[in-house]
Amino acid sequence: MKVERVGDTVRVSAIARLAAADAKGFRESVMEQMRDGGKNIAIDLSQTTFIDSSGLGALVALRKAAIGQQGALRLLNPQPPVQQILELTRLDALFEIVNPGRT
């Protein structure tokens, strides 16, 4: 997993899985960058093959943190297995999901 801050946006990429064992570290490393001046969060899900309820919980918490800084959270390129779970839990309606590769 890669976490970097570009201006006021915290970008997270190369996330293989977002399950209970990964969710806490994921959330903490993004929050650390938010404390250092982050406002928006962009999470690249193009390499994420699995997400569970703990991973979804971490995304919901980070969205709240971004909104608290008057920023926004975006999910980029979720692949079908992850998109399906976002839809099953109706979180596809909560999150701003961006698919630049698709029209």
**CA 41 to CA 52: how far, in whole Å?**
20
- Tell me if 50 contacts another protein by CB under 8 A: yes
Residue 74 binds another protein, judged by CB under 8 A: no
Q: Does 52 bind another protein (CB under 8 A)?
A: yes
Stretch in the footprint of another protein (CB under 8 A) among 5-13, 34-42, 69-77, 78-86: 78-86
Question: ∠ CA(16), CA(22), CA(28), 5° rounding?
Answer: 115
- Contact at 8 Å (CB) between 43 and 15? yes
- From 29, 31, 57, 97, residue interacting with another protein (rule: CB under 8 A): 57
